[in-house]
Amino acid sequence: MATVVALVDDLFFQMKLAETAKQLGVEVKVAANGEALMGLMASEPRLVIVDLNARNQPIGAIEKLRQARKDVRVVGFLSHVQKELAAQAQAAGCDEVLPRSSFTQNLAAILSSAKD
């Protein structure tokens, strides 16, 4: 089963992620902070999802992740008006930064990409 790791502290969004992943046959492991995220990397995920509006320094978590693993795809999402935060995320190592609305609309496709 494909594994996806997510740094998301929004409970509503965690449930949406989990439900969509379950329908697709993808395992999602959720971390509430960067330290927990690094602990979940042992499961060799094919995709890491980061809520760039999470309270526990998501940019720092991406930087740490990139020091340890350069081969994993990292997709971040945020409010569409946060252009500066999007630039910071890309500089930290996010492969893709999407507005929350676009991320939500394409969630199934994004999660399915971890299966390939």
> Domain with 60 in it: what CATH number?
3.40.50.2300
How does pLDDT run across 42-63, given as a tens digit for each residue?
Answer: 989 999 999 999 998 999 999 9
Mean pLDDT of 27-32: 94
Residue 112, pLDDT > 80, answer yes
Residue 102, pLDDT > 80, answer yes
Mean pLDDT of 62-76: 95
Q: What pLDDT shows up at residue 81? A: 82
Alpha carbon of 12 to those of 1, 16, 19, 68, 69: distances in Å? 24, 6, 11, 29, 28
Using 50, 70 and 90 to split pLDDT, how confident is the model at 89? Answer: very high
Q: What pLDDT shows up at residue 95? A: 97
Tell me the backbone φ, ψ of residue 10, rounded to 5 degrees: -85, 115
**Cα separation of the two ends of the chain:** 11
Enclosing H/E stretch for 113 = none
What is the value of pTM for the model shown? 0.95
How many domains does the structure of the chain reveal? 1
Mean pLDDT score of the chain = 94
Instruction: List, edge to edge, every strand of the sheet that includes 96-99.
Output: 26-31, 2-7, 47-51, 73-78, 96-99
Mean pLDDT of 83-104: 96
Q: What pLDDT shows up at residue 34? A: 93
Contact call for residues 75 and 104 (beta carbons, < 8 A): no
Mean pLDDT of 8-15: 92
Q: Distance (Å, rounded) from C-alpha 54 to C-alpha 85? A: 12
Q: Which domain holds residue 104?
A: 2-115
